[in-house]
A and B are shown apart, each in its own frame.
Chain A
Amino acid sequence: MVKYIDEFRNPNIAKSLSQKIHEIMPDSKINLMEICGGHTITIFKYGIKKLLPQNLNLISGPGCPVCVTDNSFIDSAIELSHLQNVIICSFGDMLRVPGSHSSLINEKSKQSDIRICYSPMDAIEIAKNNKNMEIIFLGIGFETTVPLIASSIISAKSEGLKNFSVLSGHKTMPNAMKALLDSEDIRLDGFICPGHVSAITGLDLYKIIAEKYKIPCVVSGFEPIDMLESIYMLVKQIKENISTVQNQYTRVVRNQGNQKAIEIMNRVFEPVDAEWRGLGIIPGSGLKIKSEFQQFDANQKFDIPLIEKKENPGCICGNIMRGINTPLDCKLFKKICTPQSPQGACMVSDEGTCATYFKYSL
């Protein structure tokens, strides 16, 4: 496996792809957006920008699940953690995200029972072993994680578990891309589309972007050679004035996606309007648990008080997620906002744009 990975980090191939990009690069400025936080990490971790023409600009998009989660979701999770006999289960990253007044990690250090899980199936185990407690799993993430959480709900139902529920903050990708293009805040010339989301969804969902908005889309893998090749494919489309959906990540992504995973997802979840940090409410961009499974929907099961939402006025995470600003434009960046003391969500997750800038750039 390791030898296989090394082929995707081969310096000679990297150099030759870099040359090819330079050769076909038009004189005008090109803005490409990488949607996925995993791609942002690869770009910085391998120093890919240094191999690209100066007029080729890479913009980080809203593809880090922790970062796009709105304050109101954190506030609700904190309120739930204050209830008697409740155990909150969450992916680790969520704990440090600041909400309006506190973070889950702060509440954990007080008295709330909040546990880190690597999979919703761990939460199911906790539910089985703690029958007198209510176990609430914080469901976040895109199409990549949704099938897993859907199957945990299905197995909870088939096993007759009564003390397990999910607070769904799930988001889906294509409507957010459309919202970005509709807002016209920035001019985008191409999308580097998320590899793992596409492994589930397939390529069809990007068709509207390529056909209606005329923006080229390339689904990319996560190794440096993958990304350089994807960038080459995008620049080539732009140069030839065409816009189609192409799949660079053929070793993982099938054009039709993973039908089984889509089926599981659709069995449990249905689209709903969702609030994104920085992007506001985007119609049909979230997922809610269907009524057939409503006993596992924490929103239905518990009466969650509404908290007035508050954000740090200096934090520009929203603009960063829309690609309007970079972390270097933020007054808080590296001063009071650091990975040890994050003021905004983009500094929390490893995939967050601010955390990546902090970790890898000079």
Chain B
Amino acid sequence: MDNKITKAHGSGGIFSHNLIKEVFLKYFDNPILNQLRDAALLNQINGKLCFATDSHVIRPLFFPGGDIGKLAVAGTVNDLAVCGAKPLYLSCGFIIEEGFPISDLEKIVASMQKTAQDAGVNIVTGDTKVVEKGNADGIYINTAGVGKIPDNISLAENTITPGDRIIISGTIGDHEAAIICAREEFKITGNISSDCNIVNSLTEKLVKNVPGLRIMRDPTRGGLATILNEFADKQNFGLRIYEDKIPIKNSVRGLCEPMGFDPLYMANEGKIVIIVSNNDADKALAIMKDHKIGKDAKIIGEVIEEPKSRVLLKTQIGSDRILDMLTGEMLPRIC
């Protein structure tokens, strides 16, 4: 096969077929996909379904700790997982710029398959389009996914009550910090790895073992501060977190302080933040700490009566202040 993607690879003709056979089927190989129908025929699923989609336009495509392929699978798997679902099937759509190296595409597809396998999901249907050189930046990937929510599980803001605890599964800001270091325009060299990872084995354990689990989210774009504000928005409670309890790697702080970035607003790609009843908080924390992606988990705050709908931060010097949502954008093209 030639070593660059051409318009012919998106034509639907012989080049498309070869690409499907020699790249996509080679890695994604599973009985449903292998039928190569226009749509995937799925087995019967009983119970409540969960459905999510996520598009990925990250630059650079390969970064310490991950690549666009791992990110694209983890993105949708994690969206399903934090809703309490067990992810089952994924679709993927590629938009590829003419001239993209096929060896890079193969690396990305291999990484997608490895991540999908780790998550226990199959990629069962897909699509490829090629656009003229200059009309995209290398490759964009969309994934969508279906998962099943166990019976009797319903995670929602309206179950949250004052006294509940807020837990984060590990250090914040790692992904965005890694991308900042990987971007040439900042001319920074740093030894920071993205936390890009699937979270579904951890969320499934929590769903199964922690009856007091109220809600889970993955703090991606906008970071921890934005997710907490989404929890509290229009609700009959407020949240308070403690600055000195929030786990942040020294390397990330060392990058953020001089650059003026705030880790509270920086994207994570393999973390979850949960709200859990006070009674079950220690149990949830222990489950997290016992899991390989939750070793640095910490209780960082609690649900409070007042001020309603707002998030407070107890600062390092001991004063309360409002912690608001991210306004605008810190850094474009981070996922």
Contact = CB atoms under 8 A, between A and B. Distances in A.
B30 interface: no
A45 interface: yes
B319 A50 contact: yes
Contact of B328 (A45, A51, A339): A339
A359 B327 contact: yes
Contact of A9 (B186, B250, B317, B328): B317
Contact of B317 (A46, A339, A350, A361): A46
B321 A2 contact: no
Interface residues of B, number: 20
B317 A360 contact: no
Contact of B257 (A1, A10, A14, A224): A1
Nearest to B323: A360
B321 A51 contact: no
Interface in B175-200: 185-186
A2 B317 contact: no
B204 to A, nearest CB: 35
Given A1-B257, A45-B321, A362 B307 contact: yes
Contacts of B250: 2
A15 to B, nearest CB: 7
Interface string A29-50: 0000000000000001111101
B320 interface: yes
Contacts of A225: 317
Contacts of B320: 47, 50
Given A46-B316, A47-B317, A340 B310 contact: no
B315 interface: yes
A360 B254 contact: no
B257 A11 contact: no
B318 interface: yes
B261 to A, nearest CB: 11
Given A1-B257, A2-B250, A11-B317, A360 B185 contact: no
B29 interface: no
Interface in A311-362: 338-340, 350, 358-362
A118 interface: yes
A120 to B, nearest CB: 14
B257 A44 contact: no
A94 to B, nearest CB: 13
B317 A359 contact: no
Of B186, B260, B319, B324, most A-chain CB atoms within 10 Å: B319
B184 to A, nearest CB: 11
Given A2-B250, A2-B253, A339-B327, A360 B322 contact: yes
Given A46-B316, A47-B317, A118 B324 contact: no
A44 B324 CA distance: 12
B317 A224 contact: yes
Interface in A142-173: none
A359 B307 contact: no
Contacts of B324: 358-360
B242 to A, nearest CB: 11
B322 A51 contact: no
Nearest to B250: A2
Contacts of A11: 316-318
A362 B322 contact: yes
A2 B327 contact: no
Contacts of A306: none
Contacts of A15: 318
A122 interface: yes
Nearest to A224: B317
Contacts of B310: 362
A304 to B, nearest CB: 29
A51 B318 CA distance: 9
Contacts of A338: 327
B317 A44 contact: no
A224 B318 CA distance: 11
7 contacts: A45-B321, A46-B315, A47-B320, A48-B319, A50-B319, A51-B319, A224-B315
Given A14-B317, A338-B327, 5 more contacts: A2-B250, A9-B316, A9-B317, A118-B186, A350-B260
Instruction: Name the 8 nearest CB pairs between A and B, nearest first.
Output: A47-B319, A339-B327, A14-B317, A9-B316, A47-B321, A50-B319, A11-B318, A46-B315
